[in-house]
Amino acid sequence: MADEAGQFVDTIETSNADVWGPIFQAQGQRYTPPQAIVIYDRATGTGCGTGQAAMGPFYCPADRKVYLDLTFWNELESRFGAKGEFARAYVISHEIGHHIQTLTGASDQARRQGARGAESGSVRLELQADCYAGVWARLAPQASKGGIAINRADIEDGLGAAAAVGDDAIQQKTQGQVMPDSFTHGTSAQRMRWFGKGYDAGDPGACDTFGARSL
Ligand SMILES: [Zn+2]
């Protein structure tokens, strides 16, 4: 299982590098991929403290690594009802989106805007990472030498995953109610909207969640 997941993760990581390399280059900058995408079981040490399966996938800016736990990997299908490989590709690309935000400085900007609440810097950061995943989905088929093929059904899977991991969906499943004050990722509708914006534009310029009047 871990091997299979590892291969899949490598493919998506390479594909993201194929998409983001030229975008950075066009702006006179250089894209450097995350240091690693780590798949772990139960718990692992990270540059950001102990990673635990209950935390879900995350990016650690201190060591520039993406951490995915096997439980989440499996639960993406069974618990949240998001199906298909594209849903997993979306999650990896979202986390790589956080890496891109570290490279662009958006993460620092978000920290200055505060971490909690429906309009916080942290929500804007999450929605921007969703938008970046959309940009990847749009450009991957042309950009990837490995020939990543993405069709309409895949996109719907991706949007389903975006919705399934929206804070409101998760809170309803885990607490039985929605509490907007503790939103850190944005609602399912917002996540689908920003993924779609990135996909439709195929350009990270469409992902300015910090300048957006409404999310
Ligand atoms: Zn995120």
Q: Tell me: the pLDDT tens digits for 71-126? A: 777 777 666 555 567 888 888 999 999 999 999 998 887 777 765 666 778 888 88
- The three-state (H, E, C) secondary structure of 30-54, written as one string: CCCCCCEEEEECCEEEEECEEEEHH
Distance of CA 141 to the CA centre of its chain: 18
- With respect to residue 215, please indicate whether it lies within any of the assigned structural domains: no
Lowest mean pLDDT among 146-160, 186-200, 201-215: 146-160
The whole domain housing 64 covers 2-207
Report CA(94)–ligand 1 centroid distance (Å). 6
Report CA(7)–ligand 1 centroid distance (Å). 22
Report CA(57)–ligand 1 centroid distance (Å). 8
Report CA(118)–ligand 1 centroid distance (Å). 15
Report CA(59)–ligand 1 centroid distance (Å). 8
- With respect to residue 72, please indicate whether it lies within any of the assigned structural domains: yes
Which position has the higher pLDDT, 5 or 45? 45
Residue in 91, 100, 101, 33 with CA at minimum distance from that of residue 67: 91
- With respect to residue 214, please indicate whether it lies within any of the assigned structural domains: no
Report CA(148)–ligand 1 centroid distance (Å). 23
- With respect to residue 212, please indicate whether it lies within any of the assigned structural domains: no
- With respect to residue 41, please indicate whether it lies within any of the assigned structural domains: yes
Domains contained in the chain, number: 1
- With respect to residue 213, please indicate whether it lies within any of the assigned structural domains: no
Token pair of 154 as six digits:
């895949």
